[in-house]
Amino acid sequence: MQHALVAIILLLAVVLAPVHAQQGERPDTPQHPWMNKALSPDQRAELVLAEMTLDEKISLVHGLSMPRGTAPDPTTAAVLARSNGGAGFAPGIARLGLPDLQLADAAVGVARGAARGRYSTPLPSTVALAATWNLPLGHEFGALVGRELRDQGYNASLGAGVNLMREPRNGRNFEYVGEDPILAGRMVAQVIKGTEDQHVIGNIKHFALNDQETGRQVASVVLNERVMRETDLLAFEIGVKEGRPDMVMCSYNRIDGIWACENPYLLTDLLKRTWGFEGWVISDWGATHSTVEAALAGLDQEMPGDAHFGAALKKAVESGEVPLARLDDMVRRILRAEFASGIIDDPPVTRVPDVFAGFDLAQRVAGQGSVLLKNADGLLPLSAATLKSIAVIGSHADLGVLSGGGSAKVDPPGGNAVPPAPGEMGAIWHPSAPLEAIRAKAPQARVEFDAGTDPVSAAALARTCDVAIVFVNQPTSEGRDVPSLALPDGQDALVAAVAAANPRTVVVLETGGPVAMPWIDRVGAALEAWYPGIRGGEAIAAILFGDVNPSGKLPMTFARSDADLPQPKLPGSDLTPQPVPPPPGAPAGARRRAQLPPFDITYPEGLKVGYKWFDAENKTPLFPFGHGLSYTTFAYSGLGVTGKTVTFTVRNTGGRAGAEIAQVYVALPASAGEPPRRLVAWERIPLEPGQSRTVSVAVDPLFLSVFDVQKDGWELVPGQYTYFVGSSSRALSLRASTEY
């Protein structure tokens, strides 16, 4: 009750909070010809460009910030005062009616708002969204982010990451969308479209191959073109073509020795020419390394400052090193995006967000994205009518649920539910206590909590209860990778001790990605809840007690241990950081920082990312890609393939309503030289008990193709294609072949 009362007070504080002044508003200007909405974004951009001075053009292609330890001049200070306090700021041009660009990190909600008195909905991690396999829900996710960006006065999002989970220990996996390029690309496209539908500039990142945090600013990824196009770059291709973002953010790392933000193959040849991207390329923060090389390669805007695209770029244009036509292209792309997105015609107006709508969506995503990994003997759902005692153990379940860290972190309403020790940063916990939610579901039962810091104490409590629910966690964050798949802080020993004391043990995992589970054979049930957001406790309890029938499926493979991964040791983890001098322009006395020496990442699995590696190597995963249980059962029948359309029937053979995510995989002809199978389509099918539904799924020809480097294009290899349909990559009950 106390926590519920606090939540109500917090909500009232939000609802009664004063509305902030409007930010990023279009200045009051005469009606220039480019303000004619009947013109196309391209026409409007050309009209503006024709009126711009060289200095005005330069002002649009970089952000505005000040190095630490320096004070801005009065003019710069006045411009900086217009910043909304987000991750980035680029001043507009009042005389032309161009608004300030107010950019915010927004992968799982608008980041870093609490310090400015703003509320943002902490959504579940995007890997949880991927686990829903629900594309319309992805659009809702993006739309909520877009609305709350506008509510806070922002007009551009820096969210929507689609880096593949090649490295399951990557600290940013929680803000990405899994290991399969088709699932990841299609889901992120919906998030982008949802955001841009709110008249907010959308983004896709980090382009490309920024698949680990260790050494991200020095490492060079070495992969051949075919591998890149069929894996990581395919996810971006789908995201760019289906989502049509206005921005693409290039990444920190090198590709074959060339920085991503000055890589002409990535930025110009592929993104702009081959894929037809019409927006602009923005650098990751501090990822610009040159002026002439970066501009000629296709980078359009430097962030957060102007070290390379300010005075240095103006000089390069005046000397002819960078053609004026290239600068015009950079500016034109930004202008076009501002018109196409609607931020000029419909600028954001700040207001208090719809808190309850955010709560509702957060709980639906957590409910659909949580994955029931194991459920021996039907231990779940729990029955409130028959349970007399419940032990809730570990992971601060009495206070809140875990979130990811770094630039994607959304401030918890009311502050961190688990305050860190003095002088420590600590993980962030959202105030949605599973303990309270479980007590609300089982009001007649004795529900006791143990912190889980002492396995002996936890086991003693578990022994006295009808069921034990152990919460375990894996904190992850931008800027660092986890050392291994093992749970930290002795949590494996905790689970083992509790399971030994009570065989009716349920484990709830709050993780940013896959983890090893040496205890899995000794527990009754396991539920992967990811980082479940502001209504995580309620969503978890709803699944545990059967109010929600789980339907989530894994968007990645869970390996049994690091030894089963293509690279058992994280690349770069054995290197020693070396001190490097401060960057040019740093204030006097700036501290030297440590950085890993340059190294290569080769990714020996090549095309065989994730489940394709396990299939090709005949390795048995802990849990396969696409796996996820339900409280009901489903049967598949009647597979038929006509052209590139797959038809089959799914029937709910159990006693509960539920939703099945039916997955379609294809084995290409042997001559294609591909991994054994690839995901090409899926359908989320809600069914009542006994109900059946026949579905027809059209398979995109791109998803059946291989990339021919010599022809510089995709091709369908002639031969036999075998289709498989089922409930996961390792549970495929239907099979049919056809010739193309």
The answer, yes or no, to whether the previous bond of 381 is cis (omega within 30 of 0) is yes
Name every residue whose Cβ is closer than 8 Å to that of residue 249 and which is 6 or more positions away in sequence.
158, 203, 204, 205, 206, 207, 281, 282, 283, 284
Q: Half-sphere exposure of 429 toward its Cβ, with a 13 Å CA cutoff?
A: 20
Q: Which neighbouring-strand residues pair with 156?
A: 103, 201
Q: What is the 3-state secondary structure (H, E, C) of 375-386?
A: EHHHCCCCCCCC
Token pair listed for 477 = 């964050």
Question: Which residue, chain included where needed, has tokens 């053609």?
Answer: 323
CB 384 within 8 A of CB 441: yes
Query: Per DSSP, what are the bridge partners of residue 722?
Result: 667, 737
Beta bridge partners of 658: 687
Q: Is the peptide bond before 635 cis (omega within 30 degrees of 0)?
A: no
Known catalytic membership, residue 284: yes
Q: Is 416 exposed, middle or buried (0-12, 13-18, 19+ CB in 10 A)?
A: middle
- CB 471, CB 438: distance < 8 Å: no
Helix axes 355-369, 135-151, angle to 10 degrees: 150
Residue 81, Cβ neighbours under 10 Å: how many?
A: 8
DSSP string, 149-190: HHHTT--EE---B----SSTT-TTGGGS--S-HHHHHHHHHH
What are 637's two structure tokens?
Answer: 């029948």
Indicate which residue of 151, 232, 246, 284 is catalytic.
Answer: 284
Residues 574-607 as b/e (b if ≥16 CB within 10 A, e otherwise) read eeeeeeeeeeeeeeeeeeeeeebeeeebebebbb
Cβ-Cβ contacts under 8 Å for 53 (sequence gap 6 or more): none
Residues 439 and 397 sit within 8 Å (Cβ to Cβ): no
Four-CA torsion 391, 397, 398, 401, nearest 10 degrees: -160
What six digits make up the tokens of 598? 């340059």
Q: For residue 629, list its beta bridge partners.
A: 372
Q: How many residues does the chain have?
A: 740
The 8-class DSSP code of residue 262 comes to G
Q: How far is CA 313 from the centre of its chain?
A: 33
Three-state helix/strand/coil letters over 511-536 = ECCCCCCCCHHHCCEEEECCCCCCCH
Q: Please, which residues bridge with residue 467 across strands?
A: 390
Cβ contacts of residue 500 below 8 Å, gap of 6+?
459, 522
- Whether 235 and 164 have beta carbons less than 8 Å apart is answered as yes
Q: Tokens 């802990």 belong to which residue?
A: 622
In whole angstroms, give the CA distance from residue 667 to residue 67: 54
Cis bond upstream, residue 199 (ω within 30): no
Residues tagged active-site = 284
